[in-house]
Structure 1
């Protein structure tokens, strides 16, 4: 596009975006509820409007379907309809629509918006806002964002996109920008968004503290308040609602869709990650992409710990290095993530990694598409629960940095997970639905010289501490 075409395109967006975004945000004439990341970004915007500052360059990477676009829509709506910012000062740009444009250059769009359409505001304190969705389609988005940051004191930018964005953030850019990674919903967020259930207590942090402490007094009081709230306000049985959440509810785009439609759309997200996002990170031929689709299907249906790179290579009739490369790229998209074996560095290097899905909804779609659920429904739910616990612990690592580590137990018949905090004291965790006894957890406590062990299951309806074992209902743990 030349300058005239870009100006025409942006002016059309400015005219059409307010109504388009309003329609996208409504369900049965009510606005969709916001999640916590919206409120965090809203606070940054309010601060920027009150006083121009350097907190004005934000990057929001995340798996497809986690709700990044909805957050941008809600922030746009907030600016236009609550803060009464003129639509000419807010640019929402979806690069999905421009991905086939030859020689796409974001900086040209920014220059037209800032220097031509908003020429009179360029050197004032009047705030301008640029929201770019699916930013990964311009490989130079980071450079464009940096230039806007350096040259304009009054421009607030947010870039969202796939986890490929993480790979394009060099040290120079990282110093200027603030990264807000967006993850699938937890059970608490799901209940809040879908049923308007507000939780004033800090359940997430309290459960996190309990993972490394034998003191359950604080969390049991909060859990009781939660249970009373749920009993009064949730229209369905809590466990039944959890089953809906774990299969259909951690990606917010489908909270109000029919399940039969949602299964197909969730499966398509997986396909788009492999067929589009992988290619943004590395170049693959058609055979390798086909192998990646087959590989992810195998990982989804197999129990963690039963696969090795050699087995995968043999099953897919490709070499081991190709398998390794595909897995590394899939990790970078965060469709899946690895957990290493517990033990010394040399032991971890010798053992295969175990792979889990960041979104349990995506994992469930593999079973639901094939109809592989009815034969053993409890076992199926147990598989999803184990994946959800792994995903939750993985998110805790991302949020708390080096202060927490997660491993799987390489011992035959061992527990599902072992976590450690800065004290370097291991905490074994056993997960399951159905019959669960203390044998595995007691053995792990003794073997690893742990102070406590944790069982997350349907064995109890409330948190119970029995000697050095803490029993946590899976519905309670799913709140973090």
Structure 2
């Protein structure tokens, strides 16, 4: 690597590390990553726009002799990860932070070799589709891989509104619903704003343009890392997101996807699996029943705020799904939830979380389906009702 390129890399790193100081608030994952044993390399994966780059820069500022670079830099295209890192080690760096590592071919082989040489510690980030066990070099014993999920409602408020809301457990929300509603009711007014601009942390000016660009890159670039894709596959992926945005979750299953996209059911299953791996959708499976073979057709939800992205494009979205989507986006990432599946035409509550049945609904929702709790719009924690926004404080 030429001296000019190395100098440019180091100057860019210094500038970005300085730029990161303006982000005073940190995602929850920051503190977890900070305490991982130094024996391991650290990987961060996640949907585009959730804050991986800022997190990497914040971490880099905590370690001595650190340098940051993005693997998709045009200047660095002629060089492998191994070549770049070895040059940086020669200069004297001990902690190297590599963004967008999946953009480099053979990156996992290079990371394995560098780990085995024990000259430097590496932190890296990549797309949601990264899988250490299925890469060309098995890194599962060498790298601790963590997912940075979309920002929760709590994190959004803490970062964007300078709030200071702690994390609450599921049990605390159930048991302290009145107290927590009184304590945090001022933040209920931001619920709609979060569903519109939350999850990813782009500035509101140009928010949806940035989100659209991210979605295109996820489908065109990240999915291609999972399998060979063609133009029809790309079009089907976008069309599936459109179908999901305008439909209630229970109306979309593998068979309807196959019919609407004119593909086989197996291809529909594969598409859902790929978009799940890419962090774009969240499927929730039905709860299993003892001695009963439950058909494993998931309810399929979108990652916040993709449904509202389609609404901004003029698509008439299913508004009833917004409440469920808020609940699923928070609870699925914190717990193993499932949905309760009844007989054809039978009304059943929505979700089972641990041993608790939760129904999702508007302020006038009645308990005719006999759930343990109803998560509702508004601020009324009467009887078995819990304001839905409180579940946004889970992680």
- TM-score of the pair, normalised by structure 1: 0.74
What CA distance in whole angstroms lies between the structure 2 residues aligned with 1:78 and 1:345? 50
Shift in Å, 1:268: 2.6
The SS at the match of 2:130 is: helix
The corresponding residue for 1:50 is: none
The corresponding residue for 2:88 is: 113
The SS at the match of 2:251 is: coil
The corresponding residue for 1:13 is: 9
The corresponding residue for 2:125 is: 160
The corresponding residue for 1:406 is: 338
CA contact (8 A) 1:274 1:292 kept: yes
2:338 is the counterpart of 1:429: no
Shift in Å, 1:19: 2.0
CA contact (8 A) 2:50 2:150 kept: yes
Shift in alpha-carbon separation, 1:75–1:437, aligned structure 2, 3 A? same
2:270 is the counterpart of 1:325: yes
Note the 1:188-337 alignment, pairs <5 A: 188-199=154-165, 201=166, 203-205=167-169, 208-210=170-172, 216=175, 218=176, 220-227=178-185, 230=186, 238-254=187-203, 257-258=204-205, 261-337=206-282
The corresponding residue for 1:67 is: 51
The corresponding residue for 2:376 is: 457
1:352 to 297, 311, 316: 297
Shift in alpha-carbon separation, 1:347–1:332, aligned structure 2, 3 A? farther
Instruction: State which drifts further: 407-416 or 190-199.
Output: 407-416
Deviation by residue 1:149-180 (Cα, 9 ceiling, x = unmatched): 22225x22111111222255679522222222
Deviation by residue 1:303-331 (Cα, 9 ceiling, x = unmatched): 11112322222222222222222112112
The corresponding residue for 1:395 is: 333
CA contact (8 A) 1:460 1:471 kept: no
The corresponding residue for 1:93 is: 69
What CA distance in whole angstroms lies between the structure 2 residues aligned with 1:92 and 1:166? 22
What CA distance in whole angstroms lies between the structure 1 residues aligned with 2:83 and 2:195? 43
Please give the root-mean-square deviation of Cα atoms over the aligned residues, in Å: 2.8
The corresponding residue for 1:41 is: 33
Shift in alpha-carbon separation, 1:436–1:182, aligned structure 2, 3 A? same
CA contact (8 A) 1:430 1:454 kept: yes
What CA distance in whole angstroms lies between the structure 1 residues aligned with 2:243 and 2:251? 11
Shift in alpha-carbon separation, 1:226–1:41, aligned structure 2, 3 A? same
The SS at the match of 2:125 is: strand
What CA distance in whole angstroms lies between the structure 1 residues aligned with 2:220 and 2:322? 25
Computing the radius of gyration over CA atoms, which structure comes out larger, 1 or 2?
A: 1
Q: How many residues align?
A: 391
What CA distance in whole angstroms lies between the structure 2 residues aligned with 1:139 and 1:315? 36
Shift in alpha-carbon separation, 1:36–1:240, aligned structure 2, 3 A? same
CA contact (8 A) 1:436 1:459 kept: no
- Identify the structure with bigger relative contact order (alpha carbons < 8 Å, sequence gap 6+): 2
